[in-house]
Amino acid sequence: MNRLYFPNAEVALKLIAWLVFAFSLSTHAWGQSGAAQIGFEEEQTAARAAQVRAEELARQEAAKEARFRELAVELAKRQEAIVDLQSRQGIYDQSLIEAYDDAARLYLELEDYESAAGALGEALQISRINSGLYSEQQLPLVKALIDARSRIEQWQEVDDLAHLTHHISQRLYALSDRQYLSAAQDYGEWKLRVIRENLLQQNSRGLMNTSEDLSSFYNFVISGLEREADVDARGMMALLHGKSQADIVMARNIANTPYNYFQGTESQYITQSRCQNRRNAAGQMVRQCVNVQVENPRYRQSQQEAKRMALYRHTSAINRSLERMRALYSSNNRLSASEKKELDAVVRQLQTEADTLRRVRPSGFLF
- pLDDT tens string 231-277: 777 888 889 999 999 998 888 888 888 888 888 888 888 888 888 88
pLDDT of 173 above 80 = yes
3-state SS of the chain: helix, strand, coil percent to 5? Answer: 75, 5, 20
First to last CA, the chain: 102
A 10 A CB-CB count for 246 gives: 28
360/252 Cα distance (integer angstroms): 10
Residue 58: partners with Cβ closer than 8 Å, 6 or more residues away: none
Per-residue pLDDT at 32: 54
Per-residue pLDDT at 98: 94
> Is pLDDT larger for residue 284 or for residue 33?
284
Contact (Cβ atoms closer than 8 angstroms) between residue 326 and residue 351: no
113/338 Cα distance (integer angstroms): 41
pLDDT of 74 above 60 = yes
**Dihedral sign computed on CA atoms, order 59, 63, 64, 68:** positive
Per-residue pLDDT at 363: 42
| Mean pLDDT value across residues 126-138 | 94
Contact (Cβ atoms closer than 8 angstroms) between residue 325 and residue 237: yes
pLDDT tens-digit readout, 313-352: 888 888 899 898 888 888 777 778 887 888 888 888 888 8
> Is pLDDT larger for residue 300 or for residue 64?
300
DSSP code for 286: E
pLDDT tens-digit readout, 181-192: 999 999 999 999
pLDDT tens-digit readout, 219-234: 999 998 888 777 777 8
Per-residue pLDDT at 334: 76
Backbone φ and ψ of 152, nearest 5°? -110, 15
Contact (Cβ atoms closer than 8 angstroms) between residue 197 and residue 236: no
207/173 Cα distance (integer angstroms): 30
Backbone φ and ψ of 272, nearest 5°? -130, 150
pLDDT of 8 above 70 = no
pLDDT, the chain, mean:
83
For the chain, counts of helices (H) and of strands (E): 10, 2
Per-residue pLDDT at 5: 41
